[in-house]
Amino acid sequence: AQSVTQLGSHVSVSEGALVLLRCNYSSSVPPYLFWYVQYPNQGLQLLLKYTSAATLVKGINGFEAEFKKSETSFHLTKPSAHMSDAAEYFCAVSKYSSASKIIFGSGTRLSIRP
């Protein structure tokens, strides 16, 4: 069975600091991994997805994530946080080799301090 665990329900960083949001996955098959962002009162928006083509995946808004099979991790990073990055971030895994039937983590709320 697939599952994801996001470490830390709330992360706070200063503007300009490194953003690191942690995600570990469990999957019995090669996973299809995602990071989504949700801004207040909005739906989810895809940041990036891992499809086994490359272990370092670059997404929108300067975010990237690295797939590490040995650590079963898919952490999300951004070198320099902006105030506009404040949102909730969800890591997700697909049960199949596509974006179908995604299983979401519980989310990490990112706050940015001025």
Partner 1 sequence: NAGVTQTPKFRVLKTGQSMTLLCAQDMNHEYMYWYRQDPGMGLRLIHYSVGEGTTAKGEVPDGYNVSRLKKQNFLLGLESAAPSQTSVYFCASNDPFTSTDTQYFGPGTRLTVL
At 35, list the tokens: 């990071």
Q: Among residues 17 and 105, whose Cβ is nearest to partner 1? A: 105
Element (H, E) at 61: none
- β-pair partners for 5: 24
Q: Binding residues for partner 1, how many (CB under 8 A)?
A: 20
Residues, the chain, total? Answer: 114
Rounded distance between C-alpha atoms, residue 99 and residue 97, angstroms: 7
Q: Among residues 17 and 44, whose Cβ is nearest to partner 1? A: 44
Asked if 52 interacts with partner 1 (CB under 8 A), we say no
* Shortest CB 42 distance to partner 1, Å: 6
Asked if 45 interacts with partner 1 (CB under 8 A), we say yes
* Shortest CB 7 distance to partner 1, Å: 14
Element (H, E) at 99: none
109 CB burial (10 A radius; 0-12, 13-18, 19+): middle
Beta-carbon count within 10 A of 113 CB: 11
Asked if 46 interacts with partner 1 (CB under 8 A), we say yes
Stretch that binds partner 1, among 12-20, 36-44, 59-67, 72-80 (CB under 8 A): 36-44
Residues in contact with partner 1 by CB under 8 A are 9, 41-46, 49, 90, 96, 98-107
